[in-house]
Amino acid sequence: MAARKATNDGDDDKARNLEQLLATKEIVISCGSGGVGKTTTAAAAAAMAATHLGGKVLVLTVDPARRLANALGLEQFGNTETRIPSAAFAACGIEPRGELWAAMLDTKQSWDDLVRRHAPDPKTRDAILSNKLYQNISGRFVQSHDYIAMERLYEIHTAGNYDLIVVDTPPTRNAIDFLEAPGRMADFFSSRLLRWLTAPAKSRVMNFASKPFYTVADRVLGTQFLQDIAEFFGLFQQMAPGFVERAEAVTRVLSDRRTTFVVVSTLESAPLREAEYFIEALDQRKLHLGALVLNKVLPAYLRRTATTPVARALCENGDQIAAKLPGFDDRAAVARVLHTVGESFLNYQVVAKREAEQRAELARNPDVVATVPFFDSDIHDLAGLMRLGEQIWR
């Protein structure tokens, strides 16, 4: 990739498949829009890495809907990293070379940990943890997922317990939101607003420029609420140096060459558009796009144009064909079946062709593109994950 930062050790060997890609990376970030199989892909890639590459592999999911727990058959695993028992692998007839671990992001817990780490003293720490606004921000509001996900990734990575960490990104409005989260957090701490809010109330009122704002804010939200906000941010600001430094470190990890991004999509138009947008965003930020995984792709035979007239013949001339078939008495029923079969093919062909067209329109492709066919059944266990993994691995 031309835009990628030059590295000084001169390895320009391109990865040809996911196995080669993951063998050289320490962090893999799986991203894409909702419903495309992002979580499952992340889990499958991690399971394959644990099986074939060895070492300790962690899959970190940040989705509040707890889908990965579902897919791994682990009903509850929270912030603590939990090992997938080797018995689960043995049940699929696999003897993994390494270990597979999983953890799910508990936003509230992660925020609390962060406060404990950065608070200057126990008094401030307790004041923040018991502040009503803080409890609301940390527990209920999804925007905070973005930042916390990246923060937790950083924490786990720097603890040095894993050879590979595969991260499933939170479902954000735009997939790039979480890329910008650390920067936003740093900006927030240096913003004028925060300085204004945390200034002593007296000088705030005296400050002519902010007076109209204060009047409106006071009438709309009430003085008490403003004071609550001010108190909260006053406390919070004491942690600013730690937070800003941390946000910068997180950004560095994301752009490190040991980190790669895997974009997941289906061939439907909306997810694909988002994937394309995300690929652009990675490029602009000089982040490494490692692979594109296309899920739920219809089989190629559906696109064959030579088959179209044959399917049409079944639809239109089912009666005549049925009449010529020895050993089938119920001609009407045969004609009906032939008609249904022909029509179904033509229906699916419309979708398959539409998808192929959209695939061709993708402007930029990474070195590794993996396509995963439609599976007959859903993936809800390790065996299913391994089956999916086989499709994307080589």
Interaction with another protein in 20-39: which residues (CB under 8 A)? 33-36
CB of 67 to another protein, least distance (A): 5
Q: What is the DSSP letter of 299?
A: P
For another protein, give the closer residue by CB, 52 or 353: 353
275 φ/ψ sector (left φ>0, alpha ψ -120 to 50, else beta) = alpha
Give the CA diameter of the chain. 99
Residues in region 170-209 near another protein by CB under 8 A: 171, 173-174, 188, 191, 193
SS3 225: helix
If residue 115 lies in a helix (H) or strand (E), which one and from where to where? helix 107-118
CB of 88 to another protein, least distance (A): 19
**Which region, judged by CB under 8 A, interacts with another protein, from 9-17, 63-71, 151-159, 385-393?**
63-71
CB of 229 to another protein, least distance (A): 6
Residues in region 274-313 near another protein by CB under 8 A: 299, 301-302, 304, 306-307, 309-311, 313
Query: Contact at 8 Å (CB) between 298 and 351?
Result: yes
Residue from 336, 356, 369, 381 that binds another protein (CB under 8 A)?
336
SS3 292: strand
Residue from 321, 362, 369, 383 that binds another protein (CB under 8 A)?
321
Q: Which two tokens stand for residue 145?
A: 């997922």
CB of 66 to another protein, least distance (A): 8
**Which region, judged by CB under 8 A, interacts with another protein, from 17-25, 102-110, 128-136, 386-394?**
128-136
What residues does 394 pair with on adjacent strands? none
For another protein, give the closer residue by CB, 127 or 137: 137
Residues in region 339-358 near another protein by CB under 8 A: 340-342, 344-345, 347-351, 354
SS3 222: coil
Rg for the chain, CA atoms, rounded: 27
Q: Using CA atoms, how far apart are residues 145 and 151, in angstroms rounded to an integer?
A: 10
Q: Which two tokens stand for residue 311?
A: 């399917």
Q: Which of 164, 135, 183, 170 is nearest to 47 (CA)?
A: 164
For another protein, give the closer residue by CB, 37 or 96: 37
CB of 273 to another protein, least distance (A): 8
Q: Using CA atoms, how far apart are residues 269 and 287, in angstroms rounded to an integer?
A: 24
Residues in region 365-394 near another protein by CB under 8 A: 374, 376-378, 380
Q: Is 330 in the site for another protein (CB under 8 A)?
A: yes
Q: Which of 124, 84, 343 is nearest to 239 (CA)?
A: 124
Question: Mask 135-164, x = binds another protein (CB under 8 A)?
Answer: -xx--xxxx---------------------
Q: What is the DSSP letter of 75?
A: S
| Total of residues contacting another protein (CB under 8 A) | 85
If residue 9 lies in a helix (H) or strand (E), which one and from where to where? none
Q: Using CA atoms, how far apart are residues 226 and 248, in angstroms rounded to an integer?
A: 30
Residue from 6, 220, 360, 363 that binds another protein (CB under 8 A)?
220
Q: Is 360 in the site for another protein (CB under 8 A)?
A: no
For another protein, give the closer residue by CB, 3 or 374: 374
Sequence letter at residue 347: N
Q: Which of 53, 58, 55, 26 is nearest to 42 (CA)?
A: 58
Do strands 99-104 and 56-61 pair parallel, antiparallel, or not at all (unpaired)?
parallel
Residues in region 67-126 near another protein by CB under 8 A: 67, 70
**Which region, judged by CB under 8 A, interacts with another protein, from 18-26, 110-118, 150-158, 265-273?**
265-273
Q: Which two tokens stand for residue 304?
A: 């064959």
Query: Contact at 8 Å (CB) between 254 and 180?
Result: no
Q: Using CA atoms, how far apart are residues 85 and 87, in angstroms rounded to an integer?
A: 5
**Which region, judged by CB under 8 A, interacts with another protein, from 42-50, 52-60, 97-105, 214-222?**
214-222
Q: Is 215 in the site for another protein (CB under 8 A)?
A: yes
CB of 134 to another protein, least distance (A): 9
**Which region, judged by CB under 8 A, interacts with another protein, from 52-60, 132-140, 151-159, 280-288?**
132-140
Residue from 153, 338, 382, 386 that binds another protein (CB under 8 A)?
338
